[in-house]
Each structure stands twice: as structure tokens, then as C-alpha cells.
Amino acid sequence: MSKLDALLRTYTERPRGITGIGVTVVTKDGPIYTGVSGVTSLDPEKARPIAPDTVYWLASQTKLMTAIAAMQCVERGQISLDDPIGSVLPELADPDILEGFDDNGLPKLRKAKNKITLRTLMAHTSGLTYGFGHPDLIKWNAHIGQKRDISTGHISNYIEPLVFEPGSGWAYGSGLDWVGQAIERLNACSLEEYMQKNIWAPLGMTSTTFRLESRPDLMSRKIEITNRNPEGDLVSIPQPFDSPAAHDLGGIGAYSTLEDYGKLLQALLNDGAGILKPESVDEMFKPQLDETLGDMHHLLYPEIPADIKLNFGLSVSIRMAPMEGKRDLGCVSWGGYPHLVWWIDRKRGLASTIFRQTLPREDPIITEMDDKIETAVYELAEE
């Protein structure tokens, strides 16, 4: 048993540990490690051992695939990164900016001066954010009597005012969901159909979909989502995202497996071989923010130590300083809501992803686990 195998078992077999986990580590030549531990359900009658082909809801790990699809559209000349997106998405052609509320509690709105572009959507600098997490948008939605429910997968849930002038700030939000809509309209097909033809099939990703309800073979392999209650025990919870969803949301809507996602990471390690040109990968992984905006990452993830300098590319977080025995300078990464995470270290020719379906977001056991797994991954790579 390897150190990584033992580590995964530690966290699935310990009291109040997690239900299941999978880790894969790839180089340019393919996987050098794939390990799993645990079961797919807390219910002994439903539980099956976790396998490399167990299906997980990717949540925001969907964003990487959508960014790749968008860069393919740029390569074809269908759109440029700096074209106003309103020509493709009229919903975003003339947005309002919410600048707080007056003394009577009425929203103060003005028209944006700058245009939203594909680049600002992908870099989260468009002014769009997730309204359920922004106090002014929560208040604005209450004012207009609108209840947002992103679990339905309907893009209309993201039609809200901006919270700053496009290009002048950074706020994590629905940009990649809108990018997915742009891809559909540019190509006259669903995002599922587009990715199947242009990403999944070329890479041999046979277990990835937005439409879980149309793939009973995948549904039968899905792991349930669990949440740690205030007493510290795990409980099963309903899927936070509807199936079927109203739209193929490019920010949060896909399902996949450890094996499939490893193939995606390997392609990017190989400068996009089979799906993108090297210069497109370079652009995705290039810092897009000035230093002030880069520091805003820590507002979103306060658990990140302040001395870890970050920036943001086109759908990816970028490490701006190395850490001994861990990710190097320029390493890109992102994750998914139920504690998935991926990273690509191009300098060392290494990529990895950790698949879980565990909440809450701030679970301290997960933070501890991630640190130990990352260290073990780099130790494995040095062997």
C-alpha cells in the first residue's frame, strides 16, 4: 500500500471521516497514480465501493471544460476574447450596475459604461457575481420580490445587476455559465452536444455529461452528497443541482469521473494536445488581474494563508509564489463546491485532482486532508 493509499483510507475509515474519495495524478505520459477509498452512500444497502469510474457532480470543476470550449471558439474566429459579448448574449448587452441603496431603501442603479467581454466573463471581472452570496444583490432580489434558485439550472437565475464596472473588479460568479450559453448560440447546439464532439470524444471521456438523467449507466455509478451536521456527523442530503436541469450550465452543471477528468488534465499538461492550441492554453493560464484584484481571492477563500499570493486567469486561479514540497509558481487550479479540487503544475509536468462529495465548504477535516494529499502527491512525483 502506498502512502497515498494509506492516507485516503485514514480519512474514510476514521470516526466521522468522509464517505468516499478519489485521487488521480497524471504526467504528460498519463496517470502515475489513481487511488480511491470509501463507499458511495451512507446507506449500507445502497453503498458500493468507490471506483475510478464512480460518478461525481463536478460543480465548478465544470468551468475548466467551458473555458476550453470557449477558447476553441476563439481559435475558429467565431468570437474574440475582447469582443463585446452582447452581440451573442443580448441579456448582457446593456447591464445595470447596483451601487447600493438610498436612504429610503431603494436600489441605486446606473448603466455600465464598459462592455462585458468574453475575457471578463472568464476572468470573473465582468461585474457579475453569484447573487445568493452578495449582500446588495440579496437585498435587491428581496426588493423586487425575486427568489433565485440556481439549483434548477435555469440561466434566468443569473440575470441580475452588476456589482461593479466591467473590468474594474473581481467577483466570483456566473461568468462561465453565461460563456456556456454563448458557446451554444455560436454553434447552434447544446453545450452537451458541443463538448461531446469537441472535448469529450477526442479525449476518450466516455463518462462525462450535463444530462445525467439520459445516462442510466452513469446514474447507477453516482456517489451521494453528504453534509457534516453541527454535531460532526455526516448525513446524506439531496442533490443540490436538479437533474434534469433547465440548461447545460457551463459553470456548475456537469458530472464526471476521476478517470475522465484525469484525461482532461493530461491534455492541458500537453499544451492542449487534441483540443487546444498551445497559445490558447498559455492565455488561459496567464494572470489577468493587477495585484490589487489578485488579493481579492482571499476574500472568497479566507482559509488561504495571506502569504500565498494568487492571481486569476481565464477560469483558473494562479499561484504567484512557490511553496516548498507543494505547488510551484505559476501552478493553476480551481475546485468544485462539494470539495473537489484540481491543479496543473506545468513547470513540474504534473497534474492532480481530488474528487469528493462532502459539505460544508468550511469543513476543517477537508482542509487538513488537502494539505497532506498535496504533500504526498509531490513526494510520489519525486520517487
pLDDT band at 301 (very low <50, low <70, confident <90, very high): low
pLDDT band at 131 (very low <50, low <70, confident <90, very high): confident
**How many domains does the chain divide into?**
2
What integer pLDDT is reported at residue 306 of this predicted model? 63
Q: What is the mean pLDDT of residues 164-192?
A: 96
Cα dist. 238→10, 117, 151, 322 in Å?
A: 26, 36, 11, 39
| Residue 260 near residue 267, CB atoms below 8 Å | no
What integer pLDDT is reported at residue 304 of this predicted model? 60
Does 25 map to a domain? yes
DSSP string, 346-371: TTTTEEEEEE--EE-TT-HHHHHHHH
Has residue 275 got a pLDDT over 70?
yes
What integer pLDDT is reported at residue 303 of this predicted model? 53
DSSP string, 74-106: HHTTS--TTSBGGGT-GGGSS-EEEEEE-TTS-
C-alpha count within 13 angstroms, C-beta hemisphere, residue 8 = 23
Domain co-membership, 237 together with 371 = yes
Has residue 285 got a pLDDT over 90?
yes
What integer pLDDT is reported at residue 1 of this predicted model? 66
Domain co-membership, 38 together with 92 = no
d(CA 340, CA 337): 7
pLDDT tens track for 33-74: 999 999 999 999 999 999 999 999 999 999 999 999 999 999
> 60 an active-site residue?
yes
Most confident stretch, 150-164, 189-203, 326-340: 189-203
Mean pLDDT (the chain, rounded):
93
Cell, residue 292: 490589487
Cell, residue 215: 445516462
How many other C-beta atoms can be found within 10 angstroms of the C-beta atom of residue 311?
Answer: 23
Residue count (the chain)? 383
Does 251 map to a domain? yes
Domain co-membership, 120 together with 82 = yes
Does 194 map to a domain? no
Residue of 37, 60, 126, 333 marked catalytic:
60
Name, in order, each residue with C-beta under 8 angstroms of 355's C-beta and a sequence gap of 6 or more.
Answer: 21, 22, 23, 54, 56, 257, 258, 261, 340
d(CA 176, CA 166): 15
Domain extent for 240:
3-62+205-382
pLDDT band at 305 (very low <50, low <70, confident <90, very high): low
Does 11 map to a domain? yes
Q: Which of 186, 217, 241 is the last residue of a domain?
A: 186
Percent of the chain with pLDDT over 90: 81
Does 96 map to a domain? yes
